[in-house]
Amino acid sequence: EAGVTQFPSHSVIEKGQTVTLRCDPISGHDNLYWYRRVMGKEIKFLLHFVKESKQDESGMPNNRFLAERTGGTYSTLKVQPAELEDSGVYFCASSQFGKGEQYFGPGTRLTVT
């Protein structure tokens, strides 16, 4: 069974540009989560999808971040326009419906210069 995959693994962009991160969850997992780790700090929860619906987006830092999960399969996280403080590692995770055990992808390292 394939695990959670994320693309790209690394992205370097300039301040003001737009970047879109993609996450493919484990097949059949209804729950999909986005997290971010800024250097030296904790991994922070961003939002939670159940299928295509946003269940909890309380962790989204501001309206420059837009997450979608059309069709309830893969998800994208767009940052527009990117700022220096957006640099960090963005993790995606998925879990089965009703299960607390989350499986993580390898992360996307975003560097904004």
Q: Which residues bind other proteins (CB under 8 A)?
A: 4, 31, 33, 35, 41-45, 47-48, 50, 55-56, 59, 91, 93, 95, 97-107
Closest to other proteins by CB, 3 vs 16, is 3
Task: For residues 67 and 48, give the distance between their C-alpha atoms in angstroms, rounded to a whole number.
Answer: 10
Quick one: how far is CA 26 from the chain centroid?
14
Least distance (Å) between residue 98 CB and other proteins: 7
Q: Most distant CA pair in the chain: distance in Å? A: 40
Fill in the amino acid letter for 108. Answer: T
Closest to other proteins by CB, 82 vs 107, is 107
